[in-house]
Structure 1
Amino acid sequence: MPNLSILPEPAPTRAGGTRIVGRALTCAVFALAGLLFYVSAHAARGTDLRTDDSLLRLSDVIRQRSAQNQQAQAQLADQQERAEELAQQQGSPADTALLGALQQGSALEPLAGPGLTVTLNDAPPNATARIPGVPAPGVNDLVIHQQDIQAVVNALWRGGAEGIQVMDQRLISTSAVRCVGNTLLLQGRVYSPPYVIRAVGRTEALRSAVDADPTIRNYLQYVQAYGLGWKVQESGDLSVPGYSGTVDLRSATGQ
């Protein structure tokens, strides 16, 4: 049988000291945990910390502000209508005619006539490449971007549009098309696709301007490859509403 070496027994005082230190550390950890639970409960004061208003998602805040802006715009439209009625009652016929011309030029009055309607939409869910040899789409290839909407608006202006409406709002000279994520932010309100753009003007000139725009041509390649939405409709009797928002400039800088 093999020889077994006998190890000396450890000093009892060393092991005993280790156990005492371990127990002290354990007690300290439990005490610290209890203190943290108490502080958290005292700070919450019986409420759920996860549902604090400061933790709302940005998208929820934007939609809430959009609803408030929509209500404010409706109230502003009522006030503008009352102001126009008073001006017509108190002004001379020449003044009334001048006021109407200024309102028409500033997009404050509804507009009707022949025109074009352009609709853009995201690709269907789980869309894949429809053309052989085209790479699989990324997330950004399947959604409408700011430059797509802006390209259509710019092309319609170049085509001689007398007035343009995006979704349910009339555009004016200070209107700006902005996208936040996959939603459209326009004049303080947010919209989701499909995006509908209407323009009153000569339909042939409007369509020619849209067909000739290079950014739109690039977008149409994605329409064919991945199924993004694109629809153009001509109309002999199209109407767009008057602008109902504020026309005051909050700030301006000169160059």
Structure 2
Amino acid sequence: MTDDPGRALIRTKSTSDRRRQIWRAASVVIALVAGVLLGTARSYSHGQDIRNRSIDLSALVQGAGKRVVTAQSRAAGLQQDIDALAGSDLSPQVAKARQEADALSAAAGLTAVRGPALRVSLSDAQRDSDGNYPAGVNPDDLVVHQQDVQSVVNAMWAGGAEAMMIMDQRVVTTSAVRCIGNTLLLQGRTYSPPFVITAIGDPNRMSRSLDAEPGVALFQTYVQHYQLGFEIDPVKDVTLPAYAGLIRLTAAHQEKK
């Protein structure tokens, strides 16, 4: 049986109409998407050309660091207000909880610590009079890296450190050593080398632990070949300040061995 020519013509027109409708709808969608993209680009660029726009990560980090310092100062003031209000008219339950928290303050790094210490300083290789590193050397071999600082920190903890400070900040359980290039990022603040780690404890024991740490031994090979800085100095008496930042860790427990 053959199809009726009239029906075939109707089907052809119907198919053609559907295709035209689909293309119209697709054109509208494409135009809308293009408009959104152009609007977003203009909003981001503030009307300026963004093709050659670059992001200065160092400036972003420094700006964020300044905001962190401001926020920490404000938080410290608010904490003082809270402590002053909480010091009066405490219920027995609250008073007991505060006593238990105060007993843990030293272990958490929330109190100042004083005693003999070991101080370690790590610095980049020296530049020449023109501010350049030696020619033909990989620049990565001439700077202190995150793993170098972390190796020193781990070795001093392993050597019985009771309290530790990196630069001017007290190290606590939630502290994390991060490096962006040759810039140290610690608890929202940035530092340039030399990086100084001070730990209270037995200086001789911590010094032996540094000698036994593979990461420290590897760093010392770069010290010998490329003149990076590495100094270890015992300190008879030093006071490490209490940690004054926010405590984000809410719970922890020690597993029984």
- Kindly report the root-mean-square deviation, in angstroms, between the aligned alpha carbons of the 2 structures: 3.1
- Aligned partner of 1:108: which letter? L
| Residue-by-residue CA offset, 1:55-97 (whole Å, 9 max, x unaligned) | 5412111110100001111222233344445545556897665
Do the aligned partners of residues 160 and 95 (structure 1) sit closer, same or farther apart at CA in structure 2, a change above 3 Å counting?
Answer: same
Paired with 2:96 and 2:224, the residues of 1 have a C-alpha distance of 55
Tell me which amino acid in the other structure corresponds to 1:73: Q
Query: Paired residue for 1:104?
Result: 106
* Matches for 1:162-241 after TM superposition, within 5 Å: 162-241=162-241
Matched, 1:65 2:67: no
Work out the CA distance in 1 between the residues paired with 2:105 and 2:190.
26
Q: What TM-score comes out, normalization by structure 2 length?
A: 0.69
Which residue matches 1:144? 144
| SS of alignment partner, residue 104 of structure 2 | helix
**Is 1:116 matched up with 2:125?**
no
CA contact (8 A) 1:223 1:230 kept: yes
CA 1:99/1:68 → structure 2, altered by over 3 Å: closer, same or farther? same
Unmatched segments (≥5 aa) in structure 2: 1-41, 251-257
- Identity fraction in percent: 39
Q: Which amino acid aligns with 1:58?
A: L
Distance 1:106 1:137 in 2: 43
- Residue 39 of structure 2 aligns with which residue? none
SS in structure 1 of the partner of residue 233 of structure 2: strand
**Contact in 1 for aligned 2:174/2:248 (Cα 8 Å):** no
Superposition TM-score, scaled by structure 1 size: 0.69
- 1:239 is displaced (CA, Å) by 1.6
Deviates more, 1:82-91 or 1:179-188: 82-91
TM-superposition CA deviations, 1:183-242 (whole Å, max 9, x none): 111111111111111111111111111121111011111111111011111111112111
Question: In 2, distance between residues paired with 1:227 and 1:182?
Answer: 16
Q: What runs of 5+ residues in structure 1 fail to find an aligned partner?
A: 1-42, 130-135, 251-255
